Structure 1
Amino acid sequence: MTDGPPLMLNRAFFERKENLLKILQLILGFINIFTNYWCYPNQHFLYCGERYFTSAQVFQLVVFNGFCLCLTFSLIIANIAGVYDAYYKTNPYVLERYLIYLQTFLYTVAYITLVVDFESNPYAKAFAIPLISTTLTLLAYVVDAMMQCRRKNVFGQ
């Protein structure tokens, strides 16, 4: 006996633009977490190195990049596994919409934090690497949030 409906592989995963955007967000999230780990603005060293010197860098890695990366990965796995179709009574599309809004807000705060750290340290061209990657990731989440806003209320949202 099963406790719930069966999960099935979502074969139409790659047909929706939102799902392709989620894969792009996952790739950009990995790039972003790597660049924030490897090259973060630091007043003591004006070159990229794998060093933690500020609490802002750990905050960027764990709270913003790591958390959003795990959420995006879990949304992709849930969509591929067919959780959206199997548990339609709980309306996972509304949950996805709110999670995208949360991730967009978190990346906006991460971007502001990074700009403040970038401006408060001596200028080095290497520090532009995490700023560029965070900007690209933020833009991907903003586009996804805009797509979520424009989505019709097809699923009873």
Structure 2
Amino acid sequence: MTDGPPLMFNRAFFERKQNLLKIFQLIFGFITLFTNYWCYPNQHFLYCGERYFTSSQVFQLVVFNGFCLFLTFSMILANVAGAYDAFYKTNPYVLERYLVFLQTFLYTVSYITLIVDYENNPYAKAFSIPLISTTLTLLAYVIDSVMQCRCKNTPLGH
């Protein structure tokens, strides 16, 4: 005996603005991951290079970018697979709201860390690339957080 309906493809996935925003967050997250991997502000080199030199870069890649990408991808996959409808007793929309707030907080810390590293290292215009991509990703998560706050008193799934 099951507790809910079986998992099914959610055909209404693209009708909800938050779901389209999740796809943009995933795209911006991958861009941010690759730009932080390839071109992170480094005090030893004034050009972009595929090197790990600072613990800040590894921290950015694993804790902020990798973790947030995993959570966003998991939320997209769960929503496309219909897990939100199948497991309605657990209220996945509230979980999604908390995860979006957590990701917004993590990208805010990531942005502050990147600005500190950017300001503490010799200036090179190439280091603006990860700063711009992190700004766009943070903006996508802030918009999602604001949308989550606005629909606080309404049923989130409808």
The alignment's TM-score, normalised by the length of structure 2, stands at 0.95
Give the distance between the partners of 1:19 and 1:34, measured in 2 at CA.
23
Structure 2 counterparts to residues 24-63 of structure 1, below 5 A: 24-63=24-63
Letter in 1 for 2:45: F
Look up the equivalent residue of 2:107 and give its one-letter code. Answer: Y
> Deviations 1:90-118 (Å, cap 9, x if unpaired)?
10000000000000000000000000000
Aligned-CA RMSD value? 1.3
Distance 1:45 1:102 in 2: 33
Matching residue of 1:133: 133
Amino acid at match of 1:93: Y
| Corresponding position of 1:92 | 92
Query: 2:31 & 2:152 partners in 1: Cα distance?
Result: 32
Q: Distance in 2 between matches of 1:17 and 1:37?
A: 30
Any unmatched runs of 5+ in structure 2?
Answer: none
Instruction: Give the paired residue count.
Output: 156
Q: Distance in 2 between matches of 1:60 and 1:154?
A: 35
Distance in 2, Cα, partners of 1:137 & 1:42: 21
1:104 aligns with 2:107: no
- Structure 1 stretches of at least 4 aligned residues deviating more than 2 Å after TM superposition: 1-5, 152-156
Does 1:72 pair with 2:72?
A: yes
Percent sequence identity is: 83
Q: TM-score, normalised by structure 1?
A: 0.96
Query: Is residue 5–residue 85 contact of structure 2 (8 Å, CA) maintained in 1?
Result: no
Unaligned runs of 5+ in 1: none
Work out the CA distance in 2 between the residues paired with 1:89 and 1:4: 8
